[in-house]
C-alpha cells in the first residue's frame, strides 16, 4: 500500500515537472512574482476586494478526510490547483492528496470520458456530443479565470496601444498590415504610430487562450466568425505560430512590429507590454486580475444553469470588464458509485474549499478569482453531486 | 595436434548442456519477435485509432491544403510538403558538409586534430533537441533575419525561393537547425565508412601517380559510396522524425511556399502542437492519421534509399569486375 502511494507521488512529481514544461506558465516562481509582476497591468489587490472565505461560510471542512483524489487535464489550471491543493493539505486536511496530471484539456477530457480519473479539467466546457459520449450526466464547473492579453513589439515606442475588436480581427485576418493603418490610428488618437509591418503571432499548440481569443473575435466580427471561427486550434489566415506562451513571447520580442496574445499571468510575470482592448461599453480596458473578474461577473447573470458559458464580450452594463476573459472548468460526474464514497467526499470537500478560501490564492499565481455570483452557482452544482444516489454535501 | 583436438572434443562432449542450444536459439528468436511485435502493435493501434479520420477525410487527406479543426476540414499536404522540403534540403547540406568532414578526418587531418574534432562532431548528436530549438529561436532566428534573410531578400527577392517578409522564423531556420542536427550522424557514419576503405586502394592509386584529390576521387569515394549513402539514410530518418527543434523555429503555419523565408509546418510538429488539446474524436483521429502518414513516408523514403544503395553497390561491383 505505502509503496503504491509512493509510486503515485513519484508519478505526480514527474507529471508536475512535465506540466511546467508544457504550459510554460512559469508557475514555479508564481508566489514571488505576484507582487512585482502585477505592477504594469494594474494591482493584484484590486481583484481581492472580496474575501472569498466569507462569501458563504464553508459548512463542511473535510479535516478528517483521508483519500487520494485523482484528476487530469488543463495545464492552465495547474499553477492554481496545485498551490491550492498543497495549502489545503497543509492547513485543512492532512489526509487528502490531490494527484493532478496536467496533460492538457484534450487528454483530461478523454481520461474523464474513459472514467479513469475522479475529475477532469478543461479550458473549454464539454459539448453536447462529448457529454453523450460519456454516457452519464456530468457537471461543468468553472473554477478559475484568466485573460488573453495583447502584447506587441514596437521599437522605440513606450506608450500603450489601444485596440478595438475590429482592429484586432483585421490584424489577425491579414487585412491590417501596417502599424500606421487608419484603423489603428483611430483607436489611438494623438499617438504617432510607426510605418512598419505587423506580424500577427498566434499559439501553434492547442490552447484555452486561443479558444477564448478566437471566441472574442467571432463574437465581434462577422468575417472572423464565418471564415475562421473559434476553437482551441483554428485555421489562422496569416502569421507564424509559437509553441506555448513562451514561444509566442519569444517571437513577439524578436520581431519588430509583431503582435500576439498570451495568457495574462504570463504577461504579468514577464513584464510584457500589454495593450488595452475596447469593451461593449466603449471603454479601452487593460487586462488585470480585477478587470477579468469583472468580465466573469458580467457573464454570470446570463449564464445557463449548466455553467457552460464563456467570459468574452461582456455587456455594456459592466464598463470596467476586460472583453477577453477565460475560464477553466472542473468536470465532475453527477453521480459516483458508492464504492468511491471516501474519495468523492474528500474531493467535494476540497473543491468546496477551493471555490471559497481557495479563490484567495488566485492572485498569488496571477490568476483571476471567480465572481461572487458564480461562487453561489458553483456551490449549487457541488451540492448536486451524489454518491450512490445520496448527496455528498449536506 | 590430433591429441589436442581429441581432448577438446572430449571436453565438449562431457560438458555440453543438453538444453543449452535450443534455449539460446529460443531466446534470440524471442528477442527478434519482440521487435516485430512492437512494430506490428504500433501499426495496428495507429491504424485503428485513425479509422474515424480516414473515414471522414477520405483519400483527399493526402492533397488537401486546408487544416481547419473548427470546421473539421483536414488536409495533410502542407505538412507532408514541409517535412520533405526541410528534411531533404537539410540532408543535402549535411551530406556536403559531413562527407567533407569525414574525408578531412580520415585522409588529411593530423592525428592530434582528428581525434578531438571527431569527438566534437559526435558531441553535436548528444545535445537534446529542445536545446537546439531554444538556440534556434533566441540566437539563430534573429541572426538569420538580419544577416542572411534581409540581404537575400533585397538582392534575390525576385526569385520565388526568397520572396516574402523575412522574420527569421521559418523554413530557412528549420533547415539550418536540421542540418546541424543531422550532421553528426552523416559525418560519423561517413568517417567510419571512409576509414574502412582498404589501404591497398589508396596505395594503388598513389602508385599510379595520382594526386591526393585523385586518390580520394578514384580510390576512396567509389569504394565508400554505398556506405555514404547509408549514412544519408540514417540522417534523413533523423530529419523526418525531428519534432521539438523544428516546431520551435519553423513558424507552424500550414502553407505551401517555395520560399525559404516563409513559415511552414511539418507532420511531427502538428502532432506535437495540437495532440494534447485535440478535444474531439475526429480531430484526434485526424492527427493520428498524420502519424500514420509519417510512418508511411518514412517507410517509402527508407525503401527508396535502400534501393538506391543496392543499385549503387551493384553498379560499383560490376564496374570493377569489368575493369
- Does A234 contact B70 at a Cβ distance shorter than 8 Å? yes
What SS3 class is residue A139?
A: strand
d(CA A286, CA A279): 10
A123 has a chain B CB within 8 A of its CB: yes
Tell me how crowded residue A343 is: count the other CB atoms within 10 A of its CB.
19
- CA nearest neighbour of B140 among B184, B177, B87: B177
d(CA A336, CA A350): 16
pLDDT value at A6 more than 60: no
pLDDT score at A247: 87
User: Is residue A8 scored above 60 in pLDDT?
Assistant: no
Q: Do A205 and B273 touch (CB under 8 A)?
A: yes
Asked if B172 and B262 count as a contact pair (C-beta separation under 8 A), the reply is no
Q: Report the alpha-carbon distance of residue B189 to residue B208 in Å, rounded.
A: 29
Query: If pLDDT is split at 50, 70 and 90, which confidence band does A201 have?
Result: very high
Q: Where do the CATH 3.40.190.10 domains begin and end in chain A? A: 3-146+327-391, 148-302
pLDDT, mean over chain A: 84
| Per-residue pLDDT tens over the stretch A137-149 | 999 999 999 999 9
- Which numeric CATH code is attached to A148-302? 3.40.190.10
Reported as a pLDDT band with limits 50, 70 and 90, residue A20 is: very low
Least CB-CB distance to B276: which of A206, A250, A251?
A206
Q: Which three cell numbers stand for residue B259?
A: 520560399
What does CATH list as the number for A3-146+327-391?
A: 3.40.190.10
A388: Cα separation from own chain's centroid? 32
Q: Is the pLDDT of residue A197 over 80?
A: yes
User: Grid coordinates standing for B30?
Assistant: 524471442
The grid cell for B102 is: 569525414
Strands A386-387 and A335-336: parallel
CB contact under 8 A, A254 and B141: yes
pLDDT tens string B144-167:
999 999 898 888 888 888 888 888
Q: How confident is the model at residue A362 (pLDDT cuts 50, 70, 90)?
A: very high
Tens digit of pLDDT at every position of chain B (323 positions): 566 777 777 666 666 667 888 889 999 999 999 999 999 999 999 999 999 999 999 999 999 999 999 899 999 999 999 999 999 999 999 999 999 999 999 989 998 998 899 888 888 888 999 999 999 999 999 999 999 998 988 888 888 888 888 888 999 999 999 999 999 999 999 999 999 999 898 899 999 998 989 999 988 998 898 889 889 988 998 899 899 999 999 999 998 999 999 999 999 999 999 988 887 889 999 999 999 999 998 888 888 878 887 887 776 666 555 44
Indicate the residue of B70, B252, B280 with minimum beta-carbon distance to A230: B70
What pLDDT is stored for residue B246 in this prediction? 93
Interface check for B257 against chain A (CB to CB < 8 A): the answer is no
Residue B285 at interface with chain A, using a CB cutoff of 8 Å? no
> SS3 for A329?
strand
CB-CB: which of A199, A205, A254 is closest to B277? Answer: A205
Q: Give tens-digit pLDDT for A342-355.
A: 999 999 999 999 99
SS (H, E, C) chain B: CHHHHHHHHHHHHHHCCCCHHHHHHHHHHHHHHHHHHHHHHHHHHHHHHCHHHHHHHCHHHHCCCCEECCCCEECCHHHHHHHHHHHHHHHHHHHHHHHHHHHHHHHHCCHHHHHHHHHHHHHHHHCCHHHHHHHHHHHHHHHHHHHHHHHHHHHHCCCHHHCCCCCCCCHHHHHHHHHHHHHHHHHHHHHHHHHCCCHHHHHHHHHCCCCHHHHHHHHHHHHHHHHHHHHHHHHHHHHHHCCHHHHHHCCCCCCCCCCCCCCCCCHHHHHHHHCCCCCCHHHHHHHHHHHHHHHHHHHHHHHHHHHHHHHHHHHHHHHHHHC
Give the per-residue pLDDT at B309.
Answer: 79
Q: Which DSSP symbol is given to A196?
A: -
Closest chain A C-alpha to B69 CA, distance in angstroms: 6
| Adjacent-strand bridge partners of A278 | A284
Q: Which of A229, A243, A255 sits opposite B273 (nearest CB)?
A: A243
SS3 assignment, position A97: strand
Give per-residue pLDDT as tens, A157-168: 888 899 999 999
pLDDT at A7 over 60: no
Coil, helix or strand at residue A260: strand
Question: Would the pLDDT of A209 be above 70?
Answer: yes
| Interface predicted TM-score (ipTM) of this complex, two decimals | 0.79
Q: Tell whether the model's pLDDT for residue A221 goes beyond 60.
A: yes
Looking at A135-164, list the stretches that DSSP marks H as alpha helix, in order from N- to C-terminal side: none
Kindly report the CATH number that applies to the domain delimited by B50-322: 1.10.3720.10
Interface check for B78 against chain A (CB to CB < 8 A): the answer is no
pLDDT value of position A35: 34
CB atoms within 10 A of CB A4: 8
* Residue A278, pLDDT above cutoff 90: yes
Nearest-CA residue of chain B relative to A126?
A: B279
Distance of CA B228 to CAs A178, A341, B196, B307, Å?
Answer: 50, 65, 12, 14
- Give pLDDT tens digits for A245-269: 888 998 998 889 999 999 998 888 8
Task: Answer whether A196 touches B (CB < 8 Å).
Answer: no
* Residue numbers in A near B269 (CB within 8 A): 204
Per-residue pLDDT for A177 more than 60? yes
Amino acid at each position: 500500500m505505502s509503496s503504491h502511494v509512493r509510486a503515485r507521488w513519484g508519478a505526480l512529481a514527474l507529471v508536475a515537472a512535465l506540466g511546467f514544461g508544457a504550459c510554460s506558465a512559469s508557475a514555479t516562481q508564481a508566489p514571488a512574482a505576484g507582487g512585482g509582476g502585477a505592477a504594469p497591468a494594474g494591482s493584484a489587490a484590486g481583484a481581492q476586494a472580496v474575501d472569498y472565505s466569507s462569501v458563504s461560510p464553508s459548512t463542511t471542512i473535510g479535516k478528517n478526510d483521508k483519500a487520494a483524489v485523482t484528476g487530469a487535464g488543463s495545464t492552465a489550471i495547474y499553477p492554481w490547483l496545485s498551490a491550492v491543493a498543497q495549502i489545503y493539505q497543509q492547513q485543512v486536511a492532512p489526509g487528502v492528496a490531490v494527484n493532478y496530471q496536467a496533460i492538457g484539456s484534450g487528454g483530461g477530457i478523454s481520461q474523464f470520458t474513459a472514467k479513469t480519473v475522479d475529475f477532469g479539467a478543461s479550458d473549454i466546457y464539454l459539448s453536447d456530443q462529448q457529454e453523450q459520449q460519456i454516457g452519464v450526466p456530468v457537471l461543468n464547473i468553472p473554477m478559475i479565470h484568466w485573460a488573453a492579453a495583447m502584447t506587441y513589439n514596437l521599437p522605440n515606442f513606450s506608450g500603450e496601444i489601444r485596440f478595438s475588436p475590429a482592429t484586432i480581427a483585421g490584424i489577425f485576418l491579414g487585412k491590417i498590415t501596417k502599424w500606421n493603418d487608419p484603423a489603428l490610428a483611430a483607436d489611438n488618437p494623438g499617438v504617432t504610430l510607426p510605418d512598419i509591418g505587423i506580424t500577427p503571432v498566434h499559439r501553434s499548440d492547442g490552447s484555452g487562450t486561443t479558444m477564448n481569443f478566437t471566441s472574442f473575435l467571432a463574437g465581434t466580427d462577422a468575417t472572423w466568425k464565418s471564415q475562421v471561427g473559434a476553437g482551441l486550434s483554428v485555421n489562422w489566415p496569416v502569421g507564424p505560430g509559437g509553441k506555448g506562451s513562451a514561444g509566442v513571447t519569444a517571437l513577439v520580442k524578436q520581431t519588430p512590429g509583431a503582435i500576439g496574445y498570451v495568457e495574462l499571468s504570463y504577461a504579468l510575470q514577464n513584464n510584457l507590454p500589454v495593450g488595452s482592448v475596447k469593451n461593449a461599453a466603449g471603454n479601452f480596458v487593460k487586462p488585470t486580475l480585477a478587470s477579468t473578474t469583472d468580465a466573469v461577473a458580467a457573464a454570470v447573470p446570463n449564464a445557463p444553469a449548466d455553467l457552460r458559458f464563456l467570459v468574452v464580450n461582456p455587456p455594456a452594463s459592466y464598463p470596467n470588464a476586460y472583453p477577453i476573459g477565460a475560464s477553466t472548468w472542473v468536470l465532475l460526474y453527477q453521480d459516483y458509485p458508492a464504492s468511491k464514497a471516501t474519495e468523492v467526499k474528500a474531493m467535494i470537500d476540497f473543491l468546496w474549499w477551493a471555490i471559497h478560501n481557495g479563490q484567495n490564492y488566485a492572485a498569488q499565481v496571477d490568476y483571476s478569482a471567480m465572481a461572487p455570483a458564480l461562487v453561489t452557482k458553483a456551490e449549487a452544482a457541488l451540492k448536486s453531486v451524489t454518491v450512490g444516489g445520496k448527496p455528498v454535501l449536506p | 595436434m590430433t591429441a589436442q583436438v581429441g581432448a577438446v572434443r572430449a571436453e565438449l562432449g562431457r560438458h555440453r548442456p543438453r538444453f543449452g542450444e535450443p534455449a539460446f536459439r529460443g531466446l534470440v528468436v524471442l528477442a527478434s519477435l519482440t521487435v516485430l511485435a512492437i512494430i506490428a502493435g504500433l501499426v495496428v493501434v495507429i491504424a485503428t485509432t485513425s479509422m474515424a479520420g480516414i473515414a471522414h477525410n477520405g483519400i483527399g487527406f493526402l492533397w488537401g491544403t486546408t487544416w481547419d479543426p473548427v470546421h473539421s476540414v483536414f488536409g495533410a499536404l502542407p505538412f507532408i510538403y514541409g517535412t520533405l522540403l526541410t528534411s531533404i534540403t537539410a540532408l543535402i547540406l549535411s551530406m556536403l558538409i559531413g562527407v567533407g568532414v569525414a574525408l578531412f578526418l580520415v585522409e588529411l587531418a593530423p592525428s592530434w586534430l582528428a581525434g578531438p574534432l571527431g569527438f566534437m562532431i559526435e558531441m553535436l548528436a548528444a545535445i537534446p533537441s529542445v536545446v537546439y530549438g531554444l538556440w534556434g529561436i533566441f540566437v539563430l532566428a534573429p541572426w538569420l533575419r538580419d544577416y542572411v534573410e534581409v540581404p537575400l531578400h533585397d538582392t534575390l527577392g525576385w526569385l520565388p525561393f526568397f520572396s516574402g517578409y523575412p522574420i527569421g522564423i521559418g523554413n530557412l531556420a528549420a533547415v539550418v537547425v536540421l542540418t546541424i542536427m543531422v550532421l553528426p550522424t552523416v559525418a560519423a557514419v561517413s568517417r567510419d565508412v571512409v576509414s574502412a576503405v582498404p589501404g591497398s586502394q589508396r596505395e594503388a592509386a598513389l602508385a599510379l601517380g595520382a594526386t591526393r584529390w585523385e586518390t580520394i576521387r578514384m580510390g576512396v569515394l567509389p569504394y565508400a559510396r554505398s556506405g555514404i549513402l547509408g549514412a544519408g539514410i540514417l540522417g534523413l530518418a533523423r530529419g523526418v522524425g525531428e519534432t521539438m527543434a523544428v516546431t520551435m523555429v519553423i513558424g507552424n503555419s500550414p502553407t505551401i511556399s517555395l520560399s525559404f523565408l516563409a513559415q511552414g509546418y511539418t507532420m511531427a510538429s502538428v502532432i506535437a502542437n495540437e495532440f494534447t488539446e485535440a478535444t474531439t474524436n475526429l480531430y484526434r483521429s485526424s492527427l493520428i492519421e498524420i502519424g500514420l502518414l509519417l510512418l508511411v513516408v518514412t517507410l517509402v523514403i527508407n525503401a527508396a534509399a535502400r534501393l538506391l544503395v543496392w543499385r549503387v553497390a551493384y553498379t560499383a561491383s560490376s564496374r570493377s569486375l569489368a575493369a
